[in-house]
Structure 1
Amino acid sequence: MGGPPMHNTERDARIARAVYDLAHRPADFDPLELLHDLTSQAVELLPVRSASITVLDNDRISYITASDEMTRELTEDQVELNEGPCLDSARTRKALVPTELDERWPNFAPRAHAAGITAIAAVSLRLPQMLLGALNLLMTQPPYMGTSDMELAQTLADTTGSTLAHRHELADKNILLAQLRTALDSRVTIEQAKGMLAGRFDIDMDEAFTRLRHHARSQRRKLSDLAAQIARGNVPSEFYSVR
């Protein structure tokens, strides 16, 4: 005889939808959009304040994307200071269980605490036989992520890695890193577009990015292409109908 019946919860359904969304992408999908979706799904499903992606490129650590502006700044701070738990995790190529910020990072920890962040965890973002980088998870207070939360974070990251690998002939690292370098370049254009939308519609940068991504998805356009159009001053008329 089998065990007792299993009851699916709303969270189970949300996890299933998240994995499906990360795994099923059009053939010409934008890697930057996929990685941002990974940070968004992590924030939605895990007990974390925010999330970011860092990538290892020839042992150099680069920030790729984050779930919000505050986290973008904190991740860039670590790269700039050459100090922080996200960098330590990337360099050791190991997952980082939730770790409270302390004197190990004397320059970074005060900046994180000022933003309300008290602990950070990380799981590997990997392709078959290859480490690409990390999904970094920022927390504000205990109770911090437990074992099952870390396993879910790794599942989300692994699903994303599999999607990237499938897109790039089962992970030609050089091709993928070239694509991600292009994503790094397009980040500047995206920041310009966010700034233009924020100023024109008197909204903050997070809301500007939300509108930018929503429009790109609804029109089935690449985020980088739409951002370049807006950065040139050509804001689609549909943006004016959202107030």
Structure 2
Amino acid sequence: MTAHDELASIDLRIAAVVREVAQLGGEDDHVAELLDRLTHELRSCVDRADYCGIAIAFAGFTFTGASSDPTIAPINEEQFALGDGPCLHAARTGRVVVADCTGTDERWPDFGASAQALGVQSMLCAPIHADGASIGSLTLFSRTRELLEGREGHALELVANAVGDALKRNRHRRSLEETVAGLRDAMNHRAPIEQAKGILMALRNIDADAAFAALSAESQRTNRKLRTVAAEFVDSVSASAPEIDRPDAAPTS
């Protein structure tokens, strides 16, 4: 497969993810799900990448918008604490950034300890734009030094554009600041959604996408937030679980 064919294939896969989630709904929880799927999709498309993540840095907000693996959290947290690093540099400059994490980089001399502790040797970061403003960056992380802007950069920018478009479409009558705040709130409430998805996958023998679609359908049917539907489902399953399955339950005679 040529580089052009590979990029075209990635384009189709990303477009399919955007189209599928967009059909389910447009609230903040759906945007968070879309970004989560995009990071997983990009990670699977790029052989040399071990992780993928989105760092949001806009209007005083700094947080991880999505990630293919929670392992990268310390790398983002280090940058947020320092106010510097490759992800933030890409967001501020609006340019793709290639970072060698095996040593000290004069562009951000205090950054690197977390990446080295996790065995991450290289990072490739692309800025995310929405309505002409840079709101963060999309990053590939690799345990090798093989991430190159010319090879992986095109796919990275493709997905970064999809992320920016998703946030722009979600604005409706809100400001961009309110949209980013809504995403942060959705990220803070993803736990019950992930728990509900896991339970549905086990009970119905379905994949994560189908589980999310089921939750979304119930959210739309009852006109309630997705996170509310998910939390109530988790609570109902927990309440109906046999007492013997609970580690703190008293033994029955």
Same fold? TM cut 0.5: yes
Residue 146 (structure 1) aligned to one of 145, 149, 154: 149
Q: Deviation at 1:143?
A: 2.2
Residue pair 2:139, 2:156 contacting (<8 A) in 1 also = no
Structure 1: runs of 5+ lacking an equivalent: 1-5, 202-209, 238-243
SS at match of 1:53: strand
SS at match of 2:237: coil
Aligned counterpart, 1:111: 114
Residue pair 1:165, 1:171 contacting (<8 A) in 2 also = no
Aligned counterpart, 1:79: 80
Q: Deviation at 1:151?
A: 1.9
Change (3 A) 1:231 1:155: same
Matched, 1:45 2:45: yes
Q: How many residues align?
A: 218
Residue pair 1:31, 1:179 contacting (<8 A) in 2 also = no
Output the amino acid matched with 1:217: A
Aligned counterpart, 1:94: 94
Task: State the Cα RMSD in Å.
Answer: 3.7
Change (3 A) 1:85 1:226: farther
Counterpart Cα distance in 2 of 1:236 and 1:148: 51
Q: Deviation at 1:211?
A: 6.9
Residue 26 (structure 2) aligned to one of 21, 25, 28: 28
Counterpart Cα distance in 1 of 2:122 and 2:36: 21
Q: Deviation at 1:86?
A: 1.7
Residue pair 2:57, 2:136 contacting (<8 A) in 1 also = yes
Matched, 1:134 2:137: yes
Output the amino acid matched with 1:15: D
Counterpart Cα distance in 2 of 1:120 and 1:10: 21
* 1:27-75 Cα deviation digits (max 9, x unpaired): 4351111111221122022231111111123244222221112123432
Change (3 A) 1:132 1:140: same
Residue 227 (structure 2) aligned to one of 215, 224, 229: 224
Aligned counterpart, 1:207: none
Residue pair 2:124, 2:147 contacting (<8 A) in 1 also = no
TM-score, normalised to structure 1's length? Answer: 0.71
TM-score, normalised to structure 2's length? Answer: 0.69
Q: Deviation at 1:146?
A: 3.4
Residue pair 1:65, 1:72 contacting (<8 A) in 2 also = no
SS at match of 1:150: helix
Aligned counterpart, 2:68: 67
**Identity between Structure 1 and Structure 2 (%):** 19
Residue pair 1:15, 1:45 contacting (<8 A) in 2 also = no
Counterpart Cα distance in 1 of 2:3 and 2:90: 36
